[in-house]
Amino acid sequence: MRNMLLGGKLLAIESGEGSITLDHLRSALQSLQPLSDSDYSRLCDSLNVPEEGPRTERFTTSLLEETASLPRVPYAPDVIRLLERLKQQGLDLSSRVTEPYVNLGDRKGRYHTVVSSVAELKALLSSRIFDQDAAVEAVSDAVMRMSWSELSDRPQAIFSFLGPAATGKTYMAQLMGQGLQGYALRSFDMTQFSSEKESFGLVGLRKGFSDATTGLLTDFVKQHPRSIIVFDELEKSHSRVQTALLRLLSEGWLRDEYSGEEIDFRQTIVVFTSNLGSSIYSNRTFAEQARKQPHQAREHLLQAISQETKIEDGHQVAAIPPEMISRLSQGSIILFNKLSIDALARIAQEQIQHERKSFEDKLGLSVEFKQFDLLVRLLVLGFAPGFDTRAVKSRLTDQVYDPVTDYLLAHENAHVEQVELSIDAGVEVFLQSQDMGKLPQQMATKHQRVYFRHQLALEDTRLKVVLTDARIEKLARGEDFTDASGIQVDLPEVSFEQIAGHVQIKARLSETINLVSQREQLKAQGISVPRGMLLYGVPGTGKTMLAKAFAHEAGLPFIACAGNDLLNESFIRKLFARAREYAPAIIFIDEIDALPRRGTAGPHADALVNRMLVEIDGFAGGDDIFIIAATNRKDLIDPAILRSGRIDLHFEVPQLDKEARRWFIERMLARPLFSQGIDVDQLVMLTAGFSGADLEKVSREVVLLALREGLEAIGPELVTEQINTQKYGAPLNLEDGRQHLLETAYHEAAHAVISRVLLPERRIEQVTVVARANFLGMVAYDNEQEHDYTREFLFNLTCVALAGRAAQIKQFGDKGLDSGAAGDLKQAASYAWHAIAEWGMDEQLYNLSIPALQDWLKRLPFAAQVEERIKHWLDEATAHTASLVDTHWRQIDRVAQQVLSDEIIDAATLQQLME
């Protein structure tokens, strides 16, 4: 009813009457047509207007909306009664039942002219813009909408051309200026507006300043209301310059600061171009998404662009302010693709033909091409792996005409009239055997380029240039693997088989490779693909070598950097941008703990971590980048980096096992200074817990000592002394070292066996005599397993803690009573304290929480009773533990001997020994 009432109001105003009557509503209804047939019938019946009666084209939607803003006109009494009756029937004043009538009979055929002009524009764009069919289609659709859309409070169209550099964005805007009749074109290079004050260049400077003048933008649109305005590389202009354009985009007007005049932009077409978002353009997943789900890809791209920053006036700011991103999102977002080989070949053909004419005119030589398409394709492949369009256009003809001019300079007396360029049969076979759809990605991933040779021969007056010996080769590292930022891309050749030992960690890494390689299957199941893993452990355990082997086994490019490199935000951007060029790829960050935690080193450090998080998260398919980080100090890494969905696979790289240490020791003993017959097995046993760096130090120190002392040969005693010095900090003889291992083996074996006896549900991962942190040996439990801390459980834990010392005393007598049990005794006392003092589990101090009482009473209550009951608990546990050790001694002995032999035994082996 709203349109009918507004129409009646307009007719009442035009007739000069003081109220809206039923006749006004009848006349209005005859200029409207139904939106809802049933409601429209009720209106016609109520006003006695035939539904199929003659209609007149009287109103437009904008005219009716303007009428709504005019002063109120009252309803006549009979109109009020009608409205009440209709309201009872469910029709209120705001109901939209009708729309303005349009006499299509007078307009038939108009679309032919519109369609023809849009088709001409589309044909022009398609003929000059290569490999951007989706962009051409989107622009054509938008121009078609312009032909029937009414003038609104904003420009006729707002385009955002987004995509990699040199893909035709600016050229597309220029061609639109040629193809759209009646539009003037003006481009603004936004790199020229990088200062806050330079917005005056666009909108003018107020009078009173010495250089006051009208704005270039506002003056141009004033002279040419129908125009195409191109803002090229928007992100490079100052934020104030960008925000000065906001009113233009939201209201369609802009004030010229010099003249004070409001300039109407509602008939303009505004085009913004930007190269931002480079981090995801090269991502294959995003490219596929842009093809299948363009709307979703646009959202991802806008999100990525909104995260881009720049330094402005000494501060880090958004490259494009959020309010500008919001305005752009309301217009047409046009995505431009990276160019394919076919598109680059078409560009190359035009460039070669253009320079051919100049070559022939200036030098008087005719140029003929044989198998031109294949020849050009070969030339383009010589620009791998980057395939930069500008480089192709500027340097391509060097490969065509430079060999000719070089020949002419070297043979001044030769008589040449014609030049013929061709490829030989081998090159033809080579090109036809390649999959041009997959080859660019292959060469990018493997850092390859197509190379070929020029063969020149003069036959009569015809100089024949034949391209021959086409081949794919890896780029030279010095020229192509390293850019100015020091970012290196490599394909490591070391495999897991070439890394000695580390059986368990290599198995875990192999499982991870399977996960990374099965990304499509995981996505199909709705499971996110791992983004990264952390290798942590003491120095010298081979973390870097394992990371390289991981890349080799996965068949992925390996991009390495050090943690200190991450202290530069620009480097972080370049690192991930480079990785995405080679995606899928691996980024290896050594000593990632160099990147400080947020809140510990100031705003700059916080910004670095935030940038790192943004890059790890990525947009539209960041799964193509897998991060391997290495650290000796896991605790120093910002938790947000390690949380789920980021670098969430954490693997401890343990000290070298027997096989790995044997490899180092045999390599050391192979040197000429070392005596023959040194017992390798003995040295392997003595170096339990040594890292590769430790073993290298032993080798270096022994050799230096021998040279200083003038020794002709290095015997086993010298090597043993250096190992003991390295391991214990003081000279130890061989027997002392073995005694320590024996004691540790029985100590840890007792822990493991008694744990299995008393707490069979508690999962043991491994038993080892390999040193870790402050432990000579240890029993490792599943830390993620949850337990019900009952009194029985805590008492059993106490017995397990005391079992190590009990076994040492049983096996070695008084010699087994040493300080090695200090940590165990502390643990046992802790279990007793928690059970008795904190959790009220003792029958004599039942339900008492001593710490809570202490907080309230400001003194330690029941101190004597607590001490007595803890003593009783530990005495009872000691006696029970001794009995258990006696009962299960054969099992303890078996486990001790096995762990002495293998150094590490897993849960399955422990179970077999127990049985």
Residue tagged 């970012």 (tokens): 487
Q: Are 384 and 436 in contact (CB under 8 A)?
A: no
Grouping H, G, I as helix, E, B as strand and the rest as coil, residue 482 is strand
DSSP letters of 116-154? HHHHHHHHHHHHHS-S-HHHHHHHHHHHHHHHHPPP-SS
Q: Are 228 and 271 in contact (CB under 8 A)?
A: yes
What is the rounded distance in angstroms from the CA atom of residue 139 to the CA atom of residue 318?
A: 28
CA–chain centroid gap for 291, Å, is: 20
What is the rounded distance in angstroms from the CA atom of residue 191 to the CA atom of residue 50?
A: 64
Residue closest to 387 by CA, chosen among 427, 435, 347, 330: 347
DSSP state of 235: G
Beta strands in 321-442 (DSSP E): 332-335, 366-369, 418-423
Considering only CA atoms, give the Rg of the chain.
Answer: 41
Q: Which two tokens stand for residue 296?
A: 């979703």
Beta bridge partners of 421: 369, 465
Active site residue: 748, 765, 838, 867, which one? Answer: 748
Query: Active-site residue 150, yes or no?
Result: no
What is the rounded distance in angstroms from the CA atom of residue 55 to the CA atom of residue 64?
A: 17
Q: Are 849 and 836 in contact (CB under 8 A)?
A: no
What is the rounded distance in angstroms from the CA atom of residue 698 to the CA atom of residue 706?
A: 12
Contacts of 820 (CB under 8 A, 6+ apart): 743, 744, 747, 776, 804, 805, 808
CA–chain centroid gap for 748, Å, is: 45
Write the Ramachandran bin of 870: left for phi over 0, alpha for psi from -120 to 50, otherwise beta: alpha
Residue closest to 545 by CA, chosen among 488, 649, 628, 646: 628
Q: Are 253 and 264 in contact (CB under 8 A)?
A: yes
> What is the identity of the amino acid at 494?
V
DSSP letters of 839-855? S--STTSTT--HHHHHH
DSSP state of 820: G
Helices (H), 129-244: 133-148, 169-179, 200-203, 216-223, 239-243
- Measured CA distances, 443 to 396, 447, 473, 596, 778 (Å): 19, 5, 9, 36, 49
| HEC secondary structure over 415-472 | CCCEEEEEECHHHHHHHHCCCCCCHHHHHHHCCEEEEEEEEEEEECCEEEEEEEEEEE
Q: Are 604 and 305 in contact (CB under 8 A)?
A: no
Residue closest to 583 by CA, chosen among 558, 563, 560: 558
Residue closest to 423 by CA, chosen among 364, 464, 475, 367: 464
Contacts of 92 (CB under 8 A, 6+ apart): 1
Grouping H, G, I as helix, E, B as strand and the rest as coil, residue 263 is strand
Catalytic (active-site) positions: 748
